[in-house]
Structure 1
Amino acid sequence: MNYDVTLLILLAAALHAGWNALIKISGDRIAVMAVVTLAGSILSLFALPFVDSPDTASWPLLALSVLIHTAYHFFLPVAYDHGDLGQVYPIARGSAPILVTLGAFVFAGEYVSQTALVGILCLAVGVMALTLDGGKASKINSKAMVFALLTGVCIASYTVVDGLGARQAESVLGFAVWLTIGNGAVTFLIALIWKRNEIVAVARNNPLTGIAGGAMQVGAYWIIVYALAVAPMGMVSGLRETSVLFAALISTFLLKEGFGVWRFVSAGLVTFGLILSRSRG
């Protein structure tokens, strides 16, 4: 993995933490998620004339990914209803890299070196360590834990599916654009049945939240789909989870959810994991 791809993934990580923070703080979370994903779909429509359509061979994977992303879009806000950003986000993101590495090996025959695997483990442990920050481990709501883990399973699943799909699509950006159009539209339509009044309220009172969140969401994922097409999926997933460090800063300084020594432990493990996960040896 070259440095250009690494920097792009870190940018995607920062964007991802940003739109997750908006979901956490902006009212009814499912309604906000619906507005954000709809805004992302609309923005993606503007990009459609500038990308090639994905090859038909990738369409089944594209459809499967839309379904998994839609499930993710509902599990995540429900988890935030029961837990802090600083707790839910690390559990959801930290559980994904190992699952992705296993999935990439099983379904794509993708191998990473022992050193890189240790790096991915360090990244995952460092991410999960944030759940202990401020001595809050015993206070993690069981429902928040369950939905955060379900979110992590969705993340791992769509990462592998998207990696395989992007490689079959011939047009990587075409696959990414159609993906964000599809999952945003499906998420919005389901949420509209469930939360119509709340969605109208969010759209009326916080229109900039939807636009900003949608732009960050699709920008982050277009970058990741590109990275999945050109680099090992386990390494991409591990690097992407550095978003928890950005989320930790937001959690501490904007949401005032507390700060503790585990932030430093986590940062050290993530940094060490970043160095090792880029290793080819």
Structure 2
Amino acid sequence: MFTYTGGAVLFAAVLHASWNALLHGNRDRFLSMTWMSVAIAALSTFIVMRLPLPPSAAWPYVVASGLVHIVYNVSLVRSYRRSDLGQAYPIARGSSPLLVTLGAALFAHEPIGALHALGIVMVSGGIIALAWQKGRVSPAVGMAALVTGATIAVYTVIDGIGVRLSGGAALTYTAWMFLFYWLMPVLFVAKRGVAALWMPLRETPLAVGSSLAGGLVSYAAYGIVIWALQAGAMGSVSALRETSVVFAVLIGRMFLGETVSARRWLACVVIASGAVCLGL
């Protein structure tokens, strides 16, 4: 796994942790996620105008994934309203690799070796341990984060199957799927009104700019993952991607003022060890 594909997925993990930190660092996360979605959808519109359509076999997966991603975005915002980055993020990300592995086995008939299974368990266990080390997890926080993790698993399995049916057209598949992100500003306007969306452009342009940049980073991060899903086992790709929580811990410590205990560093070591197992 630690060929070009594995290295690319680890790079995607760094990018993924970065845009989540940008989202968490903004006070109005629903607004931030909306402007991130505008950047993603606008870039997708530019790309789809220059590429052919995906194969017909991939279209059901494009549509399903696009809709699940919107549910994921809303769930993520709800999770971050209730807890800090070091608690909500690990629960959401740590629950997904095991679910992805199960989904890939059921729907894509993917086998997995004992060493890779150990790696996935180590990554998921270490990630979830990070959340509990922050203190007691309330039912509301745990439920919101687990729903987010479930949506991650669902769209990962959908995209793993869908991109394989696209005939190697990973960029085309990704761009058409991300077109559904135009629904986020529609939801925002329906809830808060047009003025609430446009006013920050005048009052807090830097915050809007950081959200737009975060959207482009998010696009690159998940685009790499979809590309990797063409050939790599879904569970392994998902687990490597979720090592992003290690980078999230570092970002939270360095830029958001979150504390990191010795036990949290130990959990990070377990996660890194699991990633090594996935690369053997």
Q: Per the shorter chain, which TM-score range?
A: over 0.9
Matched, 1:127 2:144: no
Aligned to 2:271: 270
Query: C-alpha distance in 1, partners of 2:259/2:192?
Result: 31
Percent identity, aligned pairs only?
A: 35
Displacement of 1:146 after TM fit?
A: 1.0
Displacement of 1:153 after TM fit?
A: 0.2
Aligned to 1:252: 253
SS at match of 1:154: helix
Aligned to 1:29: 29
Query: C-alpha distance in 2, partners of 1:278/1:161?
Result: 24
Query: C-alpha distance in 2, partners of 1:227/1:50?
Result: 23
SS at match of 1:70: helix
Aligned to 1:210: 211
TM-score normalised by structure 2 residue count: 0.94
TM-score normalised by structure 1 residue count: 0.93
Displacement of 1:50 after TM fit?
A: 4.7
Query: C-alpha distance in 1, partners of 2:2/2:275?
Result: 13
Aligned to 2:232: 231
Query: C-alpha distance in 2, partners of 1:199/1:143?
Result: 28
Query: C-alpha distance in 2, partners of 1:11/1:195?
Result: 36
The more displaced of 34-43 and 191-200 is: 191-200
Contact 1:129 1:262 (C-alpha < 8 Å) held by counterparts: no
Displacement of 1:65 after TM fit?
A: 0.6
Query: C-alpha distance in 2, partners of 1:19/1:199?
Result: 20
Query: C-alpha distance in 2, partners of 1:192/1:230?
Result: 39
Deviations 1:163-196 (A, max 9, x none): 00001112111001111122x1112211221133
Deviations 1:189-235 (A, max 9, x none): 11221133443244441231122111111111110100111110000
Aligned to 2:147: 150
Aligned to 2:80: 80
Q: How does 1:1-281 map to 2 (within 5 A)?
A: 1-133=1-133, 136-138=134-136, 140-170=137-167, 171-182=169-180, 184-196=181-193, 197-204=195-202, 205=204, 206-279=207-280
Deviations 1:75-118 (A, max 9, x none): 00111000010000000000000000000000000011011100
Q: 1:105 to 1:257 in 2, by over 3 A?
A: same
Q: Which runs of no fewer than 5 residues in structure 2 stay unpaired?
A: none
Query: C-alpha distance in 2, partners of 1:93/1:174?
Result: 26
Query: C-alpha distance in 2, partners of 1:195/1:34?
Result: 12
Contact 2:58 2:165 (C-alpha < 8 Å) held by counterparts: yes
Query: C-alpha distance in 2, partners of 1:21/1:198?
Result: 23
The more displaced of 210-219 and 231-240 is: 210-219
Displacement of 1:255 after TM fit?
A: 1.1
SS at match of 1:110: coil
Deviations 1:108-154 (A, max 9, x none): 00011011100100010111121133xx222x333221111000000
Q: 1:194 to 1:160 in 2, by over 3 A?
A: same
Aligned length: 275
Contact 2:122 2:271 (C-alpha < 8 Å) held by counterparts: yes
Query: C-alpha distance in 1, partners of 2:141/2:39?
Result: 27
Query: C-alpha distance in 2, partners of 1:49/1:217?
Result: 21
**Aligned residues: CA RMSD:** 1.4
Displacement of 1:2 after TM fit?
A: 4.5
Q: Which runs of no fewer than 5 residues in structure 1 stay unpaired?
A: none
Contact 2:38 2:212 (C-alpha < 8 Å) held by counterparts: no
The AA in structure 2 aligned to 1:87 is Q
The AA in structure 1 aligned to 2:184 is T
Query: C-alpha distance in 1, partners of 2:53/2:121?
Result: 36
Query: C-alpha distance in 1, partners of 2:269/2:211?
Result: 34
Q: Which runs of 4+ in 1 moved over 6 A?
A: none
Contact 2:32 2:208 (C-alpha < 8 Å) held by counterparts: no
Query: C-alpha distance in 2, partners of 1:154/1:8?
Result: 23
Contact 2:66 2:179 (C-alpha < 8 Å) held by counterparts: no
